Amino acid sequence: AGASGWSEASGTTWSTIPSPPANLRATPQSTNSVLITWADRSSNESGFKLERRLGTSGTWVQFQPTGPGQVTWVENGLATDT
């Protein structure tokens, strides 16, 4: 018995890492909602994760996952004049 030598992995699939989105924009829609848009530069993502934080030192928190190919999200219910 004992340890055996290295061997090739079987059934391993390597996929291409999706390109990150570009041209992120946040446009006010009302006093308590914002339209978030971005350019989808990949065709193999499973979706995007939108995150936000309060202030410049707060903790980033995911607030909305999206589906593949989605390039907009409207966030409603924000504090007035956020």
Please write the tens of the pLDDT for every residue from 63-79.
888 999 999 999 998 88
Q: Provide the pLDDT for residue 5.
A: 66
pTM score, whole prediction: 0.72
First vs last C-alpha separation in the chain: 66
Q: Which SS3 state, helix, strand or coil, does residue 58 take?
A: coil
Q: How far is CA 18 from CA 29, 33, 45, 58, 63, in A?
A: 30, 29, 6, 28, 21
